Structure 1
Amino acid sequence: MKTATKVAIATLSSILLMGSSVNLAAKAQSYEKTQKATVKKEAEAAKPISAEEKKYIEAEIQRVKELTQESGDMYVLYYKYPKLNSGFDISYWGGIHEFTSYEDYLKKASTLKGSILKQPANLPKGYKFLTAVIEGPTEGKFVDEVRAEGKKSGKPIYAKKIDWKEAVTIRLKYTNGEDTLGFSKYAADSEGSKKKGFFNDKLPAHVFPKYVFWNDGGTFEYSISTSSLDMSRKQKIELLKAAVKK
């Protein structure tokens, strides 16, 4: 083997060995950081909670509870000690509005952005409004913001009011005294958002209520459910389309 070739092979081997060493060092450094973070987290979790902090947490939860009951506003709470919240560092208060009057529901729904549900003009004879529910979001950038602000505050619990503008879930329910008829709006999952059109449920024939789902390609899906045996699929679709206001 020529000297030049031997030198080239030796050089290449050195480079490969150096690259492997760098990769191993980087992995070791990353592992060390992860271990330190884990140890720090465990130490924080094991840290005793003072009586003063417990008192503050109880008072703050009570304050937020009263605020949500009075105003209907939504608050997100960050817990410095997740063990006081079943292991979770985030909880929610408010953000759910329930109605027994269609007029009251529509008044609130009309202030929201995006699509809402309304009483369909082709509602079958004999059906009357029963209840409605509007729910705010529990996921999004605002959760990370509250978590970051809570950590920065150093408080054992941190609460922030969230002004949401679009409902994540809306449900309307009607009854004719025997059967129930329901309409829903909800966030589409990543798998469901790939499908478009109207789809029947996959429940056994004897299981009620029966559903028809509608995906129009947006970020939300809609559904109609009924316990009636007399309603055709075509009628369900027409009712659902009439109940969605975009």
Structure 2
Amino acid sequence: MNVVSKVAIATLSSVLLFGSSVGFAAEELTYEQAMEKAVKQREEALKALTAEEKKFMEDEEARLKELVKSSDDTYVTYHKYKKLNSGLDLSFWGMSKEYSTYEDYSKQTSALQGPILQQPANLPEGYKFLKARIESPTEGKFFDELRAEGKKSGKPVYTKKLDWKEPGRVELSYTDGKDELMINQYTADEEFAKLKGTEFSKQADGRKYFFQYGTGKYYYGISTKSDMSQEKMSEILKAAMKK
């Protein structure tokens, strides 16, 4: 599977279930098939729960909904029964924040650490800011400890607050009214950390992708459906990569 396919799957993984961001295994399934499979697995797993477990999970879901409604905090839940969470053992509450103005995005990034995408000064004529998104980390010591504590607790779900200062993923989107130009910053996991150089590809839907690797903790990407050249995409991406 190529890098673009993996990134596409990662993007689709933001489907909400149990109030969380969840993903599907890299099977040869359409989005609709994956959703249907997840719902079926969840229904089957629910039947095996005791009344006490079901009540505990419902109460925890209600509690977390209220918590994220009234704050910008992020919570991570460990799932004893993974089939209730599309086969994943973790789910996130308040992991993603969206901003409708660049000013609001800048205020948030000023409180974060490390390199974070900035608005490129060399955007093509006509492109204006559309939205920005910042997501929490999804890997590290916190998550290993959460899994261990969750298993030890014996509870169907076990939740902890995640305090974070470095983002897991960042996205800036711009539009000229027809095309959406997207610039992304991804945390490089063990596999992506090994990659060096650049990659360019064009998908069946006409969207072109350009990636820059070997830049440390993060790798970067830009995509568009316009007739923008690979060279121009590279220049814009470099301008957005804050050192």
Q: TM-score, normalised by structure 2?
A: 0.72
Mapped partners of 1:195, 1:82: distance in 2: 31
Does the aligned pair in 2 maintain the 1:195–1:217 contact within 8 Å? no
Give the RMSD, CA atoms, in angstroms.
2.4
Deviation, 1:82, is 4.2
Contact 2:194 2:214 in 1 (8 A): no
Query: What are the equivalent positions in structure 2 for 1:94-109 lying under 5 Å apart?
Result: 94-109=94-109
Aligned-residue offset at 1:175: 0.8
Tell me the matched-pair count: 198
Query: 2: distance between equivalents of 1:94 and 1:210?
Result: 30
Q: Quote the residue 2:240 is aligned against.
A: 243
Task: Note the residue ranges of structure 1 that are not aligned, 5 or more in a row.
Answer: 1-44
Cα displacement string for residues 98-139 of structure 1 (whole angstroms, at most 9, x for unaligned residues): 111111111112222121111111222211101111111222
Residue of structure 1 equivalent to 2:158: 158
Percent sequence identity is 55
CA contact (8 A) 1:194 1:217 kept: no
**Alpha-carbon separation, structure 2, partners of 1:84 and 1:195:** 34
After superposition, give the CA deviation of every residue in 1:129-178 in whole Å (9 maximum; x if it has no partner): 01111111222221221122223334443211011111111111101112
| Stretches of structure 2 lacking an aligned partner (at least 5 in a row) | 1-44
CA distance in 2, matches of 1:112, 1:211: 27
Counterparts of 1:219-234 in structure 2, within 5 Å, are 219-229=217-227, 231-234=228-231
Aligned to 1:138: 138
Structure 1 residue 129 and structure 2 residue 126: aligned?
no
Structure exhibiting the larger radius of gyration computed from Cα positions: 1
Deviation at 1:52, TM superposition (A): 3.2
2:117 is equivalent to residue 117 of structure 1: yes
The separation in 2 between residues aligned to 1:151 and 1:190, in whole angstroms, is 25
Query: Distance in 2 between the 1:209 and 1:88 partners?
Result: 30
Q: Which amino acid aligns with 1:197?
A: G
Structure 1 residues 190 and 144: CA distance shift in structure 2, 3 A: closer
Distance, in Å, in 1 between the alignment partners of 2:206 and 2:237 is: 18
The CA distance in 2 between the partners of 1:195 and 1:147, in whole Å, is 29
Higher helix residue share: 1
Q: Does structure 1 conserve the Cα–Cα contact (< 8 Å) formed by 2:185 and 2:220?
A: yes
Q: Which amino acid aligns with 2:71?
A: S
The 1:194/1:77 distance shift into structure 2, 3 A limit, reads: closer
